C-alpha cells in the first residue's frame, strides 16, 4: 500500500446529478484509508489560488444526494507555467494523491499532472474519475452523470410528446451533445406505445438528408397527427454548426439553435402557416434532482471510492472505468484505463445503435440505455 498522504480532490466541467456522489465516494475512500481530504474549490484553479476546503467532517450521505458540483467547477486549460505552482501547493499541503472528477478536458488536466509528476519522480498519484452527461469518454461502458441526464431527457420528451399529441403540433426539442449523440438518443426511451414520441431522433452521427427529413415529418403527421423531433445540438446542416458565438478556454464553441433552424425549414418545406414550436432543453438536463437514476447514483459513488483504492495500490495516470457484465439483469464491474489514451478523445455513438435510412436509433440502443435509466412513470391514454 502506498502512502496516500493528504488526498486532494476537484470537480471540473459541467455539473451533473451525481458528481457529488463521486466526491462522497472519494471522501469515504480516503477516510477508510486514514487520510485527510482537501477539496479544491473550482477545480484545478483551487490549487493555483490556494482555495481549499477541509472535507474531513462532511456528511457524505447528504452530499451524495445533492446535485451539481459541491466544490464548484471550472473549465480551465493548464499552462506549462501552472505546473510548478500546483505541485508546490500540493507539497505544502502534503498532498500525495490527486483525484480529478470530470470529462474529456478534465482527464487531459489529470494526465498532464500525472506525466509531470512521473517525469520529476514525485510521490504524487493522479487518478481520474469519469463524469459527463455526454457519455463520450472512451474505454468505459458509460459515464456517471449520463444515466440521470438520459432519464431526464426521456421523461421530458414523453411529457412534451403527450402535450403535442393533445394539441396536434410539431415540436422540436434540442438536446445537449456536441460531437456524440448519446444523450439525444436516450429520447427513444420515451416511447411506451406505438406512435409515441419522438418520431425523429437526429444525432451528430447522422448525415443531413432533406428529403428524408421532410418525408419523415410528413409521415408522422399523417399517421399520428403530431410530430416530435429530438435533435442533438451538434447535428450538422450543410452550412455547418449552429452556435451562439461563445468560446470556452478549451476552444469549444457553445452550440445552440439547430432546433429553431429545423423548425423554420419545416415551415417552409411543408408550407405551414406558422413556425413549429422549438425549445433548447438547456442546462437543466445536466443536473436535475427530479431525474436521478439509482444505478447512476450507486456507480458514481463507487468510482470515487475505487479511485482512492487505485492510488493506495501505488498506481497513477489512470481513470476508473465501468465495465458492463450483463444487461438483463444489469451488472457491472470496475476497471482502469490509462489517462493518456482518454484525454481529448471522443467516443461517438456506436454504429450498431444507428438505423440506416432513418433518423432514429436501433432497438439495441434501448437494451444498452434502459438498464441505466430505469423504468419511467407510465402514461395512460384515452385514445
141 and 324 Cβ atoms separated by less than 8 Å = yes
Beta strands in the chain (DSSP E): 6-11, 37-40, 52-54, 95-102, 125-130, 170-175, 200-202, 227-232, 243-247, 253-255, 277-280, 318-327, 330-338
CA–CA gap between residue 189 and residue 114 (Å, rounded): 39
DSSP secondary-structure letter at 344? T
**Enclosing H/E stretch for 296:** helix 294-312
Catalytic residue among 82, 111, 134, 360: 134
91 is catalytic: no
Task: Pick left, alpha or beta for residue 308 (phi over 0 → left; psi -120 to 50 → alpha; otherwise beta).
Answer: alpha
φ/ψ (deg, to 5) at 258: -65, -35
Q: Beta partners for 128?
A: 100, 319
Task: Pick left, alpha or beta for residue 272 (phi over 0 → left; psi -120 to 50 → alpha; otherwise beta).
Answer: beta
Indicate which residues carry an active-site annotation.
134
Amino acid at each position: 500500500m502506498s502512502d496516500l498522504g493528504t488526498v486532494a480532490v476537484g470537480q471540473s466541467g459541467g455539473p451533473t446529478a451525481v458528481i457529488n456522489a463521486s466526491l462522497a465516494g472519494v471522501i469515504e475512500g480516503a477516510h477508510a484509508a486514514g487520510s485527510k481530504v482537501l477539496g479544491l474549490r473550482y477545480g484545478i484553479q483551487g490549487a493555483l489560488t490556494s482555495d481549499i476546503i477541509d472535507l474531513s467532517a462532511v456528511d457524505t450521505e447528504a452530499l451524495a444526494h445533492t446535485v451539481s458540483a459541491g466544490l464548484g467547477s471550472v473549465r480551465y486549460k493548464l499552462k506549462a507555467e501552472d505546473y510548478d505552482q500546483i505541485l508546490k501547493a500540493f507539497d505544502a499541503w502534503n498532498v500525495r494523491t490527486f483525484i480529478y472528477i470530470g470529462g474529456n478536458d478534465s482527464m487531459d488536466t489529470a494526465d498532464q499532472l500525472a506525466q509531470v509528476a512521473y517525469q520529476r519522480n514525485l510521490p504524487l498519484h493522479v487518478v481520474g474519475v469519469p463524469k459527463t452527461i455526454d457519455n463520450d469518454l472512451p474505454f468505459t461502458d458509460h459515464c456517471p452523470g449520463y444515466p440521470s441526464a438520459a432519464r431526464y431527457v426521456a421523461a421530458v420528451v414523453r411529457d412534451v410528446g403527450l402535450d403535442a399529441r393533445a394539441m396536434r403540433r410539431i415540436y422540436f426539442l434540442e438536446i445537449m451533445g456536441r460531437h456524440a449523440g448519446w444523450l439525444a438518443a436516450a429520447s427513444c426511451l420515451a416511447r411506451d406505445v406505438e406512435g409515441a414520441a419522438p418520431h425523429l431522433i437526429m444525432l451528430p452521427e447522422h448525415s443531413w438528408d432533406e428529403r428524408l427529413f421532410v418525408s419523415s415529418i410528413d409521415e408522422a403527421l399523417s399517421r399520428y397527427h403530431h410530430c416530435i423531433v429530438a435533435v442533438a445540438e451538434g447535428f450538422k446542416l450543410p452550412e455547418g454548426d449552429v452556435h451562439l458565438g461563445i468560446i470556452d478556454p478549451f476552444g469549444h464553441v457553445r452550440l445552440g439553435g439547430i432546433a429553431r433552424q429545423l423548425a423554420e425549414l419545416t415551415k417552409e418545406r411543408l408550407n405551414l402557416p406558422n413556425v413549429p414550436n422549438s425549445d433548447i432543453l438547456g442546462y437543466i438536463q445536466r443536473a436535475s434532482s427530479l431525474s436521478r437514476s439509482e444505478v447512476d447514483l450507486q456507480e458514481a459513488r463507487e468510482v470515487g471510492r475505487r479511485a482512492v483504492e487505485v492510488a493506495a495500490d501505488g498506481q497513477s495516470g489512470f481513470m476508473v472505468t465501468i465495465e458492463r457484465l450483463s444487461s438483463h439483469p444489469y451488472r457491472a464491474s470496475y476497471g482502469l484505463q490509462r489517462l493518456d489514451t482518454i484525454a481529448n478523445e471522443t467516443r461517438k455513438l456506436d454504429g450498431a445503435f444507428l438505423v440506416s435510412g432513418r433518423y432514429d436509433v436501433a432497438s439495441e440502443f434501448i437494451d444498452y440505455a434502459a438498464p441505466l435509466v430505469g423504468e419511467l412513470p407510465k402514461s395512460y391514454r384515452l385514445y
